[in-house]
Chains A and B, each alone.
Chain A
Amino acid sequence: MSDIPFPGTGEALPLETQQEETAGLLGWVSSVDHKRIGIMYLLAALIYFGAGGIEALLMRIQLAKPVNSFLSPGAFDQIFTMHGTTMIFLVAMPVLTGLANYLIPLMIGASDVAFPRLNALSLWLLVFGGVLLYFSFIAGGAPAAGWFNYAPLSEKAYSTTQGVDYYSLGLLITGIGSVVAAINLIVTIIKYRAPGLTIKRLPLFVWMVLVTQILIILALPALNASLVMILIDRTLNAHFFQAVSGGSAVLWQHYFWAFGHPEVYIVILPAFGMISEVIPVFSRKPIYGYEYVAASTVAIGVLSFLVWAHHMFAVGLGHSVDSMFAISSLLIAVPTGVKIFNWIATMWHGSIRFTTAMLFATGFLVVFTIGGLSGVSLAIFPVDWQVTDTYYLVAHLHYVLFGGTVFGIFAGLYYWFPKMSGRMLDEKLGKWHFWTMLIGFNMTFFVMHLLGLMGMTRRVYTYPNYPGWGMLNMISTIGAVVMGISSLIFIWNIVVSLRQGEPAGDNPWEAWSLEWATTSPPPVHNFDRIPPIRSRRPLWDLAHPENPDWKNEH
């Protein structure tokens, strides 16, 4: 056994992870080090973000004016399908998995995840699942039945290219990667915590990632079952979703949304976790109501499995069913609201430093609240009966997914980039990024609430020249261009800062969790020494021996 200290109650880690990394590209590609794997996840997500972003811009160009002919409906339908599929499966999930991968072992004082080779497998399954999906563009056509792939449109009779088959196979592969990564992270968090780091002392990011992984374990199988069933229908001429032969189109929707709804919580909870780390550090106070934020996470996790049919209010499932899902969907707003109030209370009477990370976290609070509130309005299903499947819904989903997840991710990236690279991101470029993003985002998506209320349905390649529609769509398109420019500023910031950013040091933000108790970037084995852990903020305790948390916390 090596004499590098390995903390936690788990078993000894395999020796490979404790050796020096191979040099060069081969070193990266063959790495089983969670830090390198995490960074590769982020890199893959960035590339797919570019693809998804281009898809978005193409759509917005087509929609900028009425009855436009920049894209045919055939092309548009493939593009909007790939945009949604890419952003959820190939951008949001990988970024969050990548950050979780990088940070969890560091935040719990471990030297790697429980199964480093399995970790590498998850990464490459993601990368190649995405490649398989994109291969469809040159193999007869990308899938064009929407990211939600409703039957019977997705059956062979109506989706005649192999796009849907690539969709199914690609997502089965990435889905397996996600489940494997989830198992890895759960075992790591259970078994590899440093001595003193009890579950109740977990950083909230770790806690929220843990709940998310359990959601993944229970929700991805619903998607896998659906994909398997549509593949069998398509390739073996089976009948799962074909009404004429006793199948059920509605069953697809139930199964897909049984996955799809927990999925959106899978994609938001880690972002909530990042916000829960960033806001306290830059407000210079501990998170307000730790137990309540943690408990509300569990409540959201449980409720997320009980709301799926709010995506199906227009299906005609009957008043009792609709009512039940309205109750659960209204209820899930409550723990989410609790979090928002706790985050604001953390800032209250704090001493707030507006670094770019904090700007995004603050922006998140307002933008995500808008998305959450439009969500509540949708839970009132008679309202939904008018606005579902319109641009009102497109606005809602982007406010929570972009305003929520992506803003949270930006906050997290600005916060942890110094730890990962050893250099600070440029704050001036960061502020440009933030303000252009905030303005561009709201320009793009706020007007969509209005368009939806005016009657514009979604998933349309064009629209008639109704009064006001052209102007609002044009504003949205301009906003999208601004968002594109903002993203380029961000990427430029990364490139420039990697080369000549200010050296970060161990703890540039004077933060308090364990990842800041080692160098930036950390050594291969993560820690030479772990500080004593007697509270939720070990580094605060070290820096403030006169007023340590363990004297004040309950």
Chain B
Amino acid sequence: MNTEAQTLVESWDNNRLAMLFFLLSEGTFFAFLIIAYVYYHSVSNTGVMAAKVLDPLKTGVYTIFLLSSSFTVWRAEKCLRRGSQRAFKGWLLVTIVLGAVFLFGQGSEYLHLYGQDVTISRDIFGTSFFTLTGFHSLHVLLGLIALSVIFVLALQGEFAQQHSSAVETVALYWHFVDWVWVVIFSVIYLWTVF
């Protein structure tokens, strides 16, 4: 390990470092589910079904909500560091709302698909689609819970200091959840278009 990389890693606090490695393992987990989706797309032609039942435009809109929440949580961190408590809480709230809208969008999409009899057990498309997007939504939900806990703590004045390991760590997780979605969205939805 050369000293430059060493000092960079050593300058992160324990929690962020731990989160980094946790995200490495979660990222690998998602990689395997994504590879399975891609594999079945090539070998069992799930792309046909995907093109038929998915709506990239609608999901694309919800995607914009999710990706914006990455921006807003970054803004929240910045405000905290600057000491603007109200702005910090505001941006945090917006993040949660944006994330919730995304989840709502996923939920309504699932309901719509279920109405068309596209389920996890119907065929290999259903299996690979729902597993991958399902685990992602689960991670979004857990992230929303974590952000809500942070928000409530913020309301109680827990983050009076301008530096919070907890906020930075949860934000890191949230960024991961958002950017994994970029990959998933591209592989599942954009692929039906191109």
The answer to whether A247 and B124 touch across the interface, beta carbons within 8 angstroms, is: yes
Which stretch (A96-104, A218-226, A533-541) binds chain B? Answer: A218-226
Residue from the set A179, A226, A246, A248 with the largest chain B CB neighbour count within 10 Å: A246
Chain B residues near A247 (CB, 8 Å)? 40, 44, 124, 127
Instruction: Mark contacts of A142-170 with chain B using CB atoms, 8 A cut-off: 1 yes-contact digit, 0 otherwise.
Output: 00000000000000000000000000000
B interface residues, tally (CB under 8 Å): 34
Q: Which of A10, A187, A221 contacts B32 (CB 8 A)?
A: A221
Distance A191 CA – B12 CA, assembled complex (angstroms): 9
The answer to whether A251 and B36 touch across the interface, beta carbons within 8 angstroms, is: yes
Chain A residues near B127 (CB, 8 Å)? 232-233, 238-240, 247
Q: Which of B25, B39, B126 contacts A220 (CB 8 A)?
A: B25
- Asked if A245 meets B124 with Cβ closer than 8 Å, knowing A10-B14, A217-B28, the reply is yes
Instruction: Mark contacts of B10-50 with chain A using CB atoms, 8 A cut-off: 1 yes-contact digit, 0 otherwise.
Output: 10011001100110111011011100100110011110000
Q: Is B68 an interface residue (CB 8 A)?
A: no
CB distance from A408 to the nearest CB of B (A): 25
The answer to whether B29 and A236 touch across the interface, beta carbons within 8 angstroms, is: no
The answer to whether A218 and B28 touch across the interface, beta carbons within 8 angstroms, is: yes
Q: Is A300 an interface residue (CB 8 A)?
A: no
- Asked if A228 meets B131 with Cβ closer than 8 Å, knowing A186-B21, A221-B26, the reply is yes
CB distance from A371 to the nearest CB of B (A): 29
Q: Which of A191, A221, A229 contacts B28 (CB 8 A)?
A: A221
Tell me the chain A residues, 227-261 only, with Cβ under 8 Å from chain B.
228-229, 232-233, 236-240, 245-248, 251, 255, 258
Chain A interface SS verdict (over half): helix
Q: Is A182 an interface residue (CB 8 A)?
A: yes
Chain A residues near B10 (CB, 8 Å)? 9, 190-191
Q: Is B72 an interface residue (CB 8 A)?
A: no
The answer to whether A224 and B29 touch across the interface, beta carbons within 8 angstroms, is: yes
The answer to whether B21 and A182 touch across the interface, beta carbons within 8 angstroms, is: yes
Distance A187 CA – B126 CA, assembled complex (angstroms): 39
- Asked if A237 meets B121 with Cβ closer than 8 Å, knowing A115-B14, A179-B25, the reply is yes
CB distance from A326 to the nearest CB of B (A): 23
Q: Is A495 an interface residue (CB 8 A)?
A: no
Q: Is A114 an interface residue (CB 8 A)?
A: yes
- Asked if A199 meets B1 with Cβ closer than 8 Å, knowing A221-B26, A238-B120, A240-B128, the reply is yes
The answer to whether A246 and B21 touch across the interface, beta carbons within 8 angstroms, is: no
Q: Is B6 an interface residue (CB 8 A)?
A: yes
The answer to whether B123 and A217 touch across the interface, beta carbons within 8 angstroms, is: no
| A8 closest partner in B (C-beta) | B10
Instruction: Mark contacts of A254-272 with chain B using CB atoms, 8 A cut-off: 1 yes-contact digit, 0 otherwise.
Output: 0100100000000000000
CB distance from A446 to the nearest CB of B (A): 38
- Asked if A225 meets B120 with Cβ closer than 8 Å, knowing A183-B18, A186-B21, A191-B14, the reply is no
- Asked if A251 meets B24 with Cβ closer than 8 Å, knowing A221-B32, A225-B32, A240-B127, the reply is no
Tell me the chain A residues, 1-17 only, with Cβ under 8 Å from chain B.
9-11
The answer to whether B36 and A221 touch across the interface, beta carbons within 8 angstroms, is: no
| B122 closest partner in A (C-beta) | A239
The answer to whether B18 and A11 touch across the interface, beta carbons within 8 angstroms, is: no
Distance A378 CA – B135 CA, assembled complex (angstroms): 38
| B16 closest partner in A (C-beta) | A187
Chain A residues near B40 (CB, 8 Å)? 246-248
Chain A residues near B45 (CB, 8 Å)? 246
The answer to whether A236 and B121 touch across the interface, beta carbons within 8 angstroms, is: yes
| B27 closest partner in A (C-beta) | A221
The answer to whether A187 and B18 touch across the interface, beta carbons within 8 angstroms, is: yes
The answer to whether A217 and B43 touch across the interface, beta carbons within 8 angstroms, is: no
**Across the A-B interface, the 8 shortest Cβ-Cβ residue pairs:** A246-B44, A225-B32, A246-B124, A221-B29, A237-B121, A221-B28, A238-B127, A217-B25
- Contacts A183-B25, A221-B25, A229-B131 known; list 7 others, CB within 8 Å: A199-B1, A217-B28, A225-B29, A245-B123, A246-B40, A246-B43, A255-B36
